[in-house]
């Protein structure tokens, strides 16, 4: 767990467990832009590598296994020569000479990697490696503090807060004696760097040249071309064995943990074709911060929940060893308890597995232990070696309120760095589970009656409504049962609450058209994602969220929606369109290949049996069952742990209070003028109507021919044909060789021939 936390901060990033190596012609914008548009850049180490000798020059992009964009031909690259030639090589690291908030020059005609390749000397080999990972911690706040010190006369503000305080004191003393106080004007280029995405980087060079002095002189001259507020320098590394080991394993060294470049600086290193984000000043940043504070104050609209005192159940801690002995899973009840933790839903008891026993000895006696203890517990492996953890339902569960989670400092920090943030709840260690919908990029939520599914979806929607203005987020809600989303009618953020299923299909078609229209807008200004478009364009476009309750009901009534969901699932993310599907019955029909492929992020609350959990996630969950009422588990793209169990929050337990809260939030942005999204008008004709028209005009009833004519999947046609059988249009064939028998009346057929 500690390693995962460190990795997340991107200051001690762990190397990838494995890599995919792709051969590319150059590091041009066709390679760099899709990669920089990814939301996964902070989840692993990415490498750009060039190998040059007298015979060839080869460029490689190396990515973690979860990044599947086809940037080039997948290949294998061996650097065995380096292992065997430690004494013959020279190793260099290029780094920023000054504090990282200061930018280098980014307007050179060629990229730095292109320039470095020119350093290759005859009869030698040159290896260049650039490691990057996106920083996801609070580096921008640190940079703003350093920048403030810089504007007040400190030329080299430290990255350490305590040291900056000392520097400030010394500077104040010097100013007092000199009677002069230095105050710089704001610098647009520095502001721009701070407001862009930030990347930890490490640029390494290895060569076996015999003309080391010449090589270093040329390298030094080359780096001067990037002098600006900051400058690049090279350092000779004499620990060659460790250097080569880091190079081969694509591993950051500890010395680069404070080295950070912006997106535009990274592009100037990789490619001369840049997409520079629109510059903003620090005053703009301050205004953004003020707006964030205003949004945070919106949380005051949420009710304060009542907290009750709860204590660890010491009796169950004492009874557990006895129950294990009684179930014959251990011989000696004198076990070493390592940790007892009281969570919102379960109490965790971890102990060391006694000598002479293994995990399976205890796990296999699960039912016997339940019987001996008189409680329905779960058993999982402990975090440390040779430990086991018991999850025991709390006799008095803690109610988690949405307001307290949204006002938590961790969520406020997370929300300032993510576009569509939400909080799932608290995990078994009482830590917030924070996610962003843009990284999902679509979410499937499953749960039986009283599981907490609907409460969870409402919490996500309310969070986004409180955080985003109506001009930043537009919401479409599809509610087949006319129950779950009706309360959102009249919300400024909500375009429509659709209860008519035919209109729901039309809305999905219109969202597809909107997606394609957005891609056309993106291509006109040379960007691929909504964030980049909004940075460059004067006219901003909002994110769109489409929530569908009881997706299974919609799919059964209109099977064609699956293909529409597939199209949106495949392409809508970069266009800023995201889906949340909710269903009570996650059967194999719902969890089709389309859903599994396009909804990798999934949440489940209590279901009827273990098979349903397996259907949702493709594998069993580590817990025998969930307890209902907000006890959930999430599997999310880029998540370190495969599953995280959490207790979801409620707005209020009192329905009257919740209803009043919705009314308050409804009035939140009532006076803000927002132009509704003008989705392309598409006349609706269901696949069933199309099929009737086709059969009425052609007389064709063979499934294969009808599928070919309609251009839809075989299983969809089969379902539609079954509907026509039920409507007395068709009669099932006696054998597969024959088509269905058309039995509709001439009068009925005439209606469809007239259209």
Whether residues 365 and 441 share a domain: the answer is no
Q: Could you tell me the sign of the dihedral formed by the alpha carbons of 245, 248, 249, 254, in that order?
A: positive
Over residues 593-619, the mean pLDDT reads: 90
Q: Is 680 a residue whose pLDDT tops 80?
A: no
Q: Is the same domain home to 116 and 221?
A: yes
pLDDT at 13: 60
- CA distances (Å), origin 333, targets 328, 337, 659: 10, 11, 52
**The pLDDT value given to residue 4:** 42
- Gap between the Cα atoms of 96 and 266, Å rounded: 13
The DSSP H or E segment spanning 709 is helix 703-710
> pLDDT exceeding 90 applies to what percent of the chain?
35
Task: Quick: pLDDT tens for 122-146.
Answer: 889 999 999 999 998 888 888 988 9
Residue 147 has pLDDT above 80, yes or no: yes
pLDDT at site 700: 84
pLDDT band per the 50, 70, 90 thresholds, residue 2: very low
Q: Mean pLDDT score of the chain, rounded to an integer? A: 85
First to last CA, the chain: 64
Count the neighbouring beta carbons within 10 Å of the beta carbon of residue 54. 10
User: Which helix (H) or strand (E) is 146 found in, with range?
Assistant: helix 139-151
Decide if pLDDT at 48 tops 90: yes
Give the per-residue pLDDT at 83: 80
> pLDDT per residue over 553-601, tens digit each?
888 888 888 889 999 998 899 999 999 999 998 888 888 888 888 899 9
If asked whether residues 109 and 217 sit together in one domain, one would say yes
Tens-place pLDDT, residues 340-364 = 999 889 999 999 999 889 999 899 9
pLDDT above 70: residue 284 = no
In Å, how far from its chain's centre is CA 526?
24
Question: What does the pLDDT read at residue 68?
Answer: 75
Per DSSP, what are the bridge partners of residue 95? 233
Q: Is residue 297 part of a domain?
A: no
Residue 292 scores a pLDDT above 60: no
* Cis ω for the linkage preceding 426 (within 30 of 0): no
Per-residue model confidence as pLDDT tens digits over 510-535? 999 999 999 999 988 888 889 888 88
Mode of pairing for the β-strands spanning 473-478 and 543-548: parallel
The confidence score (pLDDT) of residue 684 equals 54
pLDDT of residue 287: 43
The answer for 450, left when phi > 0, alpha when psi is -120 to 50, beta otherwise, is left
Is 447 found in the same domain as 560? yes
State whether 503 and 378 are in the same domain. no
Does residue 407 lie in a domain region? yes
| pLDDT band at residue 734 under the 50/70/90 scheme | confident
pLDDT bin (cut points 50, 70, 90) of residue 274 is very low
Whole-angstrom distance, CA of residue 229 vs CA of residue 104: 6
248/339 same-domain check:
no
Write down which residue in 260, 280, 300 finishes a domain.
280
Q: Is the pLDDT of residue 45 over 60?
A: yes
pLDDT value of residue 296: 45
Q: Where does the pLDDT of residue 288 fall: very low under 50, low under 70, confident under 90, or very high at 90 and above? A: very low
Known binding-site residue numbers: 447-454
DSSP code at position 676:
P
Q: What angle do CA 514, 518, 521 make, to 5 degrees?
A: 140
pLDDT band at 672 (very low <50, low <70, confident <90, very high): low
Residues 647, 523: one domain?
yes
Q: Note whether 493 and 470 are within 8 A (CB).
A: yes
Whether 265 maps to a domain, the answer reads: yes
- Domain boundary (393, 427, 451) is at 393
pLDDT digits (tens, 9 = 90+) for 90-114: 999 999 999 999 999 988 777 899 8
Beta bridge partners, 478, equal 498, 548
Q: pTM value? A: 0.57
- For residue 461, is it within any domain? yes
pLDDT at 100: 94
CATH of the domain at 733: 1.10.10.10
In a domain, 78, yes or no: yes
Average pLDDT of span 248-271: 89
Residue 16 sits at the vertex; the CA angle it makes with 14 and 20, to the nearest 5 degrees, is 160
SS3 call for 85:
coil
Do 467 and 544 sit in the same domain of this protein? yes
- The total of other beta-carbon atoms located within 10 Å of residue 242's CB is 13
Sign, CA torsion 707/712/715/716:
negative
Mean pLDDT confidence for 653-666: 91
**Of the residues 393, 411, 443, the one at which a domain ends:** 393
In a domain, 163, yes or no: no
Residue 469 lies in a domain: yes
Task: Pick the closest to residue 90 from 252, 204, 221 (CA basis).
Answer: 204
Q: Is 491 in contact with 668 (CB distance < 8 Å)?
A: no
Coil, strand, or helix at residue 292?
helix
| Range with the poorest average pLDDT among 195-204, 589-598, 651-660 | 589-598
324 and 469 share a domain?
no
Residue 399 three-state SS: coil
Mean pLDDT for the stretch of residues 485-495 = 90
Q: Are residues 386 and 406 in the same domain?
A: no
| Same domain for 239 and 347 | no
- Can you give the pLDDT at residue 1? 40
Clarify whether residues 128 and 221 are in a common domain.
yes
| pLDDT for 8 beyond 50 | no
Nearest CA among 197, 630, 211, 316 for reference residue 455:
630
Q: Which range marks the domain in which residue 553 is found?
A: 402-666
CATH number at 523 reads 3.40.50.300
The pLDDT tens digits for 22-33 are: 998 888 877 887
CB burial of residue 5 (10 Å; 0-12, 13-18, 19+): exposed
Domain count, the chain: 4
At 471 the pLDDT is 87
Least confident of 148-162, 595-609, 634-648: 148-162
Q: Which residues contact 656 (CB under 8 A, 6 or more apart)?
A: none
Locus of tokens 């990347």 = 199
Each residue of 408-422: pLDDT tens digit?
A: 989 988 998 899 999
Please give the share of the chain, as a percent, with pLDDT higher than 70. 91
**Residue 580 and residue 478 in contact, taking contact as beta carbons nearer than 8 Å:** no
Domain harbouring 382, CATH code? 3.30.980.40
| Residue 127, beta-bridge partner list | 51, 206
Which residues are known binding-site members for ATP?
447-454
Buried b (16+ CB within 10 A) or exposed e, 353-374: bbeebeeebbeebeeebbebbe
Is 374 part of a structural domain of the chain? yes
Contact (CB, 8 A) for 324 and 333? yes
């Amino acid at each position: 767990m500690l390693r995962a936390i460190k990795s997340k901060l991107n200051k001690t990033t762990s190397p990838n467990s494995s890599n995919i190596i792709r051969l590319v012609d150059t590091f041009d914008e066709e390679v760099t832009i899709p990669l920089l548009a990814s939301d996964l850049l902070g989840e692993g180490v990415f490498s750009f590598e060039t190998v040059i000798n007298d015979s060839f020059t080869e460029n490689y992009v190396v990515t973690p296994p979860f990044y599947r964009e086809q940037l080039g031909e997948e290949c294998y690259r061996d650097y065995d020569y380096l292992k065997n030639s430690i004494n013959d090589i020279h190793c260099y690291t290029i780094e920023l000479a000054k504090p990282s908030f200061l930018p280098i020059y980014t307007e050179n005609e060629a990229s730095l990697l292109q320039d470095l390749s020119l350093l290759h000397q005859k009869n030698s080999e040159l290896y260049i490696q650039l490691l990057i990972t996106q920083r996801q911690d609070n580096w921008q706040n640190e940079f703003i503090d350093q920048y403030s010190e810089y504007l007040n006369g400190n030329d080299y503000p430290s990255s350490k807060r305590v040291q900056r305080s000392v520097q400030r004191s010394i500077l104040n003393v010097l100013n007092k004696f000199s009677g002069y106080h230095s105050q710089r004007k704001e610098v647009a280029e520095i502001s721009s760097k701070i407001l862009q995405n930030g990347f930890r980087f490490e640029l390494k060079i290895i060569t076996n040249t015999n003309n080391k002095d010449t090589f270093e002189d040329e390298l030094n001259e080359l780096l001067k071309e990037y002098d600006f507020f900051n400058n690049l320098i090279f350092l000779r590394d004499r620990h060659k064995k460790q250097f080569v080991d880091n190079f081969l394993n694509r591993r950051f060294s500890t010395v680069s943990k404070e080295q950070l470049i912006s997106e535009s600086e990274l592009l100037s290193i990789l490619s001369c074709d840049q997409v520079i984000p629109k510059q903003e000043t620090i005053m703009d940043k301050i205004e953004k911060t003020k707006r964030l504070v205003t949004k945070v104050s919106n949380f005051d609209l949420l009710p304060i929940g009542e907290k009750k005192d709860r204590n660890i159940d010491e009796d169950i801690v004492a009874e557990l060893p006895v129950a294990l002995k009684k179930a014959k899973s251990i011989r000696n009840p004198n076990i070493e308890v390592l940790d007892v933790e009281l969570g919102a839903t379960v109490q965790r008891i971890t102990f060391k597995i006694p000598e002479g026993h293994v995990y399976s000895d205890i796990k296999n006696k699960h039912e016997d232990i339940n019987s001996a203890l008189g409680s329905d517990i779960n058993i999982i492996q402990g975090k440390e070696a040779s430990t086991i953890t018991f999850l025991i339902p709390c006799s008095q569960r803690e109610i988690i309120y949405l307001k307290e989670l949204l006002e938590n400092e961790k969520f406020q920090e997370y929300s300032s760095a993510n576009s569509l943030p939400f909080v799932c709840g608290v995990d078994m260690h009482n830590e917030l589970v924070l996610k962003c919908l843009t990284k999902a990029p679509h979410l499937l939520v499953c749960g039986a009656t009283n599981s907490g599914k609907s409460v969870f979806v409402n919490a996500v929607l309310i969070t986004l409504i409180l955080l985003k203005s109506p001009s930043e987020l537009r919401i479409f809600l599809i509610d087949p049962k006319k129950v779950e989303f009706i309360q959102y009618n009249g919300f400024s953020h909500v375009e429509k609450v659709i209860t008519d299923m035919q209109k729901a299909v039309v809305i999905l078609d219109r969202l597809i058209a909107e997606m394609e229209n957005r891609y056309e807008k993106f291509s006109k200004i040379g960007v691929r994602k909504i964030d980049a478009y909004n940075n460059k364009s004067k006219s901003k476009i909002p994110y769109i969220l489409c929530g569908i309750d009881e997706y299974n009901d919609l799919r059964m009534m209109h099977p064609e929606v699956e293909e529409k969901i597939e199209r949106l699932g495949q392409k809508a993310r970069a266009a800023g369109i995201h889906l949340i599907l909710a269903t009570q019955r996650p059967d194999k029909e719902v969890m089709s290949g389309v859903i599994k492929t396009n909804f990798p992020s999934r949440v489940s609350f209590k279901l009827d049996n273990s098979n349903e959990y397996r259907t949702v996630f493709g594998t069993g969950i580590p817990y025998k069952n969930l307890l209902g009422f907000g006890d959930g588990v999430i599997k999310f793209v880029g998540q370190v742990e495969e599953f995280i169990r959490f207790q979801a929050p409620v707005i209020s337990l009192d329905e009257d209070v919740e209803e009043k809260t919705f009314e308050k939030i409804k009035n939140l942005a009532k006076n803000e003028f927002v132009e509704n999204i003008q989705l392309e008008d598409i006349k609706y004709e269901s696949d069933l109507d199309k099929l009737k028209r086709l059969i009425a005009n052609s007389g064709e009833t063979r499934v294969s021919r009808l599928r070919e004519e309609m251009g839809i999947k075989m299983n969809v046609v089969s379902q539609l044909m079954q509907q026509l059988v039920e409507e007395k249009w068709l009669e099932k064939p006696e054998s597969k060789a024959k088509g269905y028998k058309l039995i509709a009346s001439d009068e009925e057929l005439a209606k469809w021939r007239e259209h």
